[in-house]
Amino acid sequence: MDLLSLGSVNAAATGWVLTATVLVAVLVPGIALFYGGMVQRKNVLAMVMQPLAAIGVVGLAWVLIGFSLAFDEGIGIIGGVRLVGLHNLGSDVPGQEESGVALAAFVAFHLMVAVFATALIAGAGAERWHFAGYALFVGLWSVLCYAPVAHWLFSPAGWASERGAYDYAGGLVVHANAGAAALAIALLLGRRREWPEEGYPPHNLPLSMVGAALLWCGWFGLTGGAALASDEVAAVAVLNTAVAAAAGLLLWIGLERLRFGKATTLGAVSGLVAGMVAITPAAGYVPPWSAAVIGLVAGGACHAAVGLKMWLRLDDSLDVAAVHLTGGVVGTICVGLFASRATNPRGPEGLVFGGGAGLLGEQAISTAAVVGYSFTLTLVLGWLVNRAVRNRVRPVEENIGLDVSQHGEAAYHLVSEETRETSVKPQPGPSTPELSHPSALAEHVGASAASAKR
């Protein structure tokens, strides 16, 4: 079967997966804005640029080799190379042929998931990760780490799937995988200059709120689309995502209120994301009341992990490991507890519903394997990249800010009120420029600012 041939394509399933693909694509600008608002003003463009760069690097890597390593039958630990470059695509791609989803839609959906997973790692190295080092790292990581882990759990031919482990939409493949890598990156890069003595508060929380809103919307595509059908399982997965997000948000701000006396907007969006991360591996397997429990547990666990990070003085700058690693592990283990065949007849039965402890054991084994593999391989790849192009920016570049030192741009061009008043008010005399022309106004403002500095 050719990539574009119709075959026995289910139009409804394909249409839903294409819609979900667009929603998953929204996650990348969402994470870019979410991260961008939480860094210093001088680093916001660099922080936005890194997740966006993953679109180019990982997108091409996925088409060239990543999809084949993830979904070609291959062997238990990695897929084969028969589908390299999307050549030789047949009707025997495990995980797709039974769904009736058009193969191109299946490839595109998982491409967006791969880009999102890789973009998450950027937050761990915020404000000090050299752009060239980041771009080279994510290209290698997407092929050597993400694709094999996706094969283990997303492909029926993977060793974890064959053993009976379940990851509905990426609790391990996306979140624990990226979170473990983020932990390794934070260790490799070291702490930011003067952190934690300097708190480096977010420079633009409304920007982060916009990013969180995009994440909330896009996440419904991630969990709903993973069903590969517009059916009851997809509907329950979307509902569970909303329930877990709500529970995580409320638990996080409740803890803030108890500990500090105030609930913060940053805490609200952190709890929202924690709940969605934790429900990702379980969304299509558990009933809604279990989704609420999972969201609550994740909100508390991730909140505690952020505090532990501070106690350990580990500069996981934007809490990627604290939220995504912790939340992914919590959600994956909860599959072993709360999965119910009444929710999904094709899914497993968890311990709470009489399924025994076997599934719980398989979930734990898979979790340990993914976290250990991702953390170790990231250390190796980070060392190699540092030898090739350098991982961390120089101190002077970090001091100037990554926007200027890495990209030659500035996000904001701010003028003080004093300078503004003196620069835009026409001065008497023949030398006053014609301020009605934009270029003349800009030149006059620049000259006035320079004069004020002197």
Q: How far apart are CA 166 and CA 367, in angstroms?
A: 10
Backbone angles phi, psi at 75, to 5 degrees: -125, 180
Q: Which two tokens stand for residue 427?
A: 């001065």
Q: Which two tokens stand for residue 92?
A: 């025997």
Q: How far apart are CA 415 and CA 417, in angstroms?
A: 7
Chain-centre distance for alpha carbon 121: 7
Q: How far apart are CA 1 and CA 4, in angstroms?
A: 8
Task: Output the pLDDT for position 91.
Answer: 54
Task: Output the pLDDT for position 24.
Answer: 98
Give the number of C-alpha atoms closer than 13 A to the C-alpha of residue 30, restricted to the C-beta side.
Answer: 20
Phi-psi region of 429 (alpha: psi -120 to 50; beta: other; left: phi over 0): left
Q: How far apart are CA 278 and CA 426, in angstroms?
A: 60
Q: Three-state SS string across 87-113, please?
A: CCCCCCCCCCCCCCCCHHHHHHHHHHH
Please name the residues in contact with 198: beta carbons below 8 A apart, sequence gap of 6 or more.
none
Task: Output the pLDDT for position 418.
Answer: 55
Question: Which residue type does 371 have?
Answer: V
> Is the CB of residue 54 less than 8 Å from the CB of residue 141?
no
- Encode pLDDT of 167-210 as tens digits: 999 999 999 999 999 999 999 999 998 888 777 889 999 999 99
Q: How far apart are CA 157 and CA 76, in angstroms?
A: 6
CA-nearest of 64, 323, 38, 21 to 182 is 323
Phi-psi region of 190 (alpha: psi -120 to 50; beta: other; left: phi over 0): left
Task: Output the pLDDT for position 444.
Answer: 36
Question: Domain limits of the chain?
Answer: 11-404, 415-453
Give the torsion through C-alpha atoms of 307, 311, 314, 317, to 10 deg.
40
Task: Output the pLDDT for position 27.
Answer: 98
Q: Which two tokens stand for residue 213?
A: 């809103």
Rounded to whole angstroms, what are the CA distances from 291 to 202, 245, 338, 364? Answer: 30, 9, 9, 19
Q: Which two tokens stand for residue 206?
A: 């409304």
Residues of the chain with pLDDT under 70: 1-7, 88-92, 415-454
Q: How far apart are CA 325 and CA 353, in angstroms?
A: 26
Q: What is the CATH number of domain 11-404?
A: 1.10.3430.10
Q: Which two tokens stand for residue 192?
A: 């930011």
